[in-house]
């Protein structure tokens, strides 16, 4: 177990807290495995689900911020991600278990998945959708090296959740 990290921490802080080298290519692969599990859970269990919102957000239109979901709904998705994790990702999730039964690793990742869908983030509305993947947090803005190409071929669309063009 490692000490919990706040959800708003940067990707660099997240990786270092997990004991990973932010400059190692294998770390990037691990990060995307963790993120993909959070994306799939978000899409299947949270996306557009008004019934899971806290009462004060019941009339809010999607997309929803992580804070809009009830604590019970968010925790349920965290537990679901843990229960369906691959052996590789579960090893990292085990580092995030807390004495209270929470999991800060999954919570951090799910929060960031929600953050880039909640409509408030300027980068999410631009081609720099995955700017959270930028490791240069020295000035808080950085420049993303993981952004998608601005060109698309006929018959494809940009899947911002996975930062790829799809058919």
DSSP-assigned letters across all residues of 104-151: HHHHHHHHHHHHTTSS--TGGGSS-TTGGG----SSS----SSPPPS-
Rounded to an integer, the average pLDDT of 25-53 is 95
Tell me the pLDDT band of 134, cut-offs 50, 70 and 90: low
Query: What is the mean predicted confidence (pLDDT) over 125-145?
Result: 44
- Most trustworthy range by pLDDT among 65-69, 81-85, 139-143, 162-166: 81-85
| Secondary structure E strands in the chain | 157-159, 164-166
CA distance 25 to 31: 10
69 strand-pairing partners: 53
Per-residue pLDDT of 91-133, as tens digits, reads: 999 999 988 889 999 999 999 999 877 655 555 444 444 445 5
Predicted pLDDT of residue 140? 39
pLDDT at 101: 85
- The angle at the Cα of 144, spanning 20 to 151, to the nearest 5 degrees, equals 130
Average pLDDT, the chain: 80
Higher pLDDT, 141 or 70: 70
The predicted pLDDT at position 133 comes to 53
Above 60 in pLDDT, residue 50?
A: yes
92 vs 135: which has the higher pLDDT: 92
Q: Can the peptide bond before residue 63 be classed as cis, meaning omega within 30 degrees of 0? A: yes
2-12, pLDDT tens digit by residue? 888 999 899 99
Beta bridge partners of residue 166, listed in sequence order: 157
pLDDT of residue 99: 86
pTM of the model: 0.73
Residue 142 has pLDDT above 50, yes or no: no
């Amino acid at each position: 177990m490692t000490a919990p990290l706040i959800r708003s921490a940067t990707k660099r802080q997240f990786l270092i807290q997990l004991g990973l080298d932010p400059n190692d290519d294998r770390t990037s692969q691990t990060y995307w495995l963790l993120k993909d599990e959070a994306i799939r859970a978000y899409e299947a269990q949270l996306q557009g689900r008004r019934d899971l919102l806290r009462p004060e957000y019941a009339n809010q239109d999607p997309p929803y911020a992580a804070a809009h979901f009830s604590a019970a709904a968010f925790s349920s998705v965290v537990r679901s991600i843990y229960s369906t994790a691959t052996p590789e990702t579960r090893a990292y999730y085990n580092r995030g278990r807390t004495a209270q039964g929470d999991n800060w690793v999954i919570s951090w990742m799910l929060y960031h998945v929600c953050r880039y869908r909640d409509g408030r983030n300027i980068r999410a509305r631009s081609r720099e959708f995955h700017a959270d993947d930028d490791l240069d947090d020295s000035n808080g803005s950085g420049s993303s090296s993981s952004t998608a190409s601005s060109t698309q071929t006929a018959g494809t669309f940009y899947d911002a959740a996975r930062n790829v063009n799809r058919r």
